[in-house]
Amino acid sequence: MTDYKNLSSPDFCARQLKVLADTTRLSVLKILMEGPKHVGELNSVLKLEQSLLSHHLKILRDAGFVEAKRDGKAVLYHFVSTNRQDNTGKAIDLGCCLLSFE
């Protein structure tokens, strides 16, 4: 679980930036900021092996950027916007910096 009380601590920020230091994970976040998606929808855009996509989604889940919800037989992923998404909906506030997808 992410501790949002320490958003501006250097350790927290470094861990968050490490998670985001990957083009695939940045692409996943950008897509999910537009709205929830099933794994199949993400995969049709990203064109990855399902196991590799699952690996990246787990890292994003563990860092508190996304959450998963069972939707019948499928899994629906969504961006966790609490304390993170700015007013434009195109940037993530990491506490130490703002990551913009413009």
Full set of structural domains in the chain with CATH: 4-87 (1.10.10.10)
pLDDT for the residue numbered 95: 79
Query: What are the pLDDT tens digits along the chain (102 aa)?
Result: 445 556 668 888 899 999 999 999 999 999 999 999 999 999 999 999 999 999 999 999 999 999 999 989 999 999 987 657 666 677 888 878 888 887
Structure tokens at 24: 């695939």
d(CA 62, CA 1): 7
Query: CA-to-CA distance for 51 and 58, rounded, in angstroms?
Result: 10
**β strands within the chain, DSSP E:** 37-38, 66-71, 74-79, 91-93, 98-100
Q: In this structure, which amino acid lies at residue 9?
A: S
What pLDDT, on a 0 to 100 scale, did the predictor assign at position 1?
45
Distance between CA atoms of residues 52 and 60, nearest Å: 13
